[in-house]
Amino acid sequence: MDYLHLIITDIVFETSEPIALHFIDQDVTDDFVDFLAQSPTIGIHSFATDSPSWQSVLDYDSYFDQFKVYTDFEDFKKALEINVKIIGLPYRHILKFMHLSDMALVTILINNSER
């Protein structure tokens, strides 16, 4: 049996920590879709493996080894709340002012300002 994995990736600006939300064969809620529409830095990945485990994801593509993995949507959202506090605007407003490549610069500036 194949298991459909939905993996949402993002980065916590304050720590530069890459994080991932891992869903398996799960329906998505309206709240989840709204959340995805707010972040310009979110990556969306979907593929099938023969196991529901995170290890099967790593076996499929070792790229995902760099991410701290969440399986609970609310915990994932909470981990990203600091991004809004740092920037001071909801993600959807950032899109009006910044090109995506500028987000990397914002992350570098934030990290350097803490040193």
| Mean pLDDT value across the chain | 77
Looking at residue 85, what is its pLDDT?
61
Is the pLDDT at 24 greater than 80, yes or no? yes
Distance, in Å, from the CA atom of 63 to the CA atom of 9, rounded to the nearest integer, reads 11
> Which of 19-28, 31-40, 101-110 tops mean pLDDT?
19-28
Distance, in Å, from the CA atom of 2 to the CA atom of 30, rounded to the nearest integer, reads 25
Confidence of residue 89 (pLDDT cuts 50, 70, 90): very low
Q: Please write the tens of the pLDDT for every residue from 65-88.
A: 999 999 999 999 888 877 666 555
Distance, in Å, from the CA atom of 93 to the CA atom of 87, rounded to the nearest integer, reads 10
Instruction: Indicate the SS3 state at residue 99.
Output: coil
Q: Which residues of 61-93 are buried (b: 16+ CB within 10 A; e: fewer)?
A: eeebeebeebeebeebeebbeebbeebeeebee
Contacts of 34 (CB under 8 A, 6+ apart): none
H helices of 9-113, in order, are 30-38, 54-60, 73-87, 91-97, 100-113
Give percent of the chain with pLDDT exceeding 90. 40
Confidence of residue 110 (pLDDT cuts 50, 70, 90): very low
The pTM for the full model equals: 0.71
Beta bridge mates, 45: 7
Instruction: Indicate the SS3 state at residue 51.
Output: coil
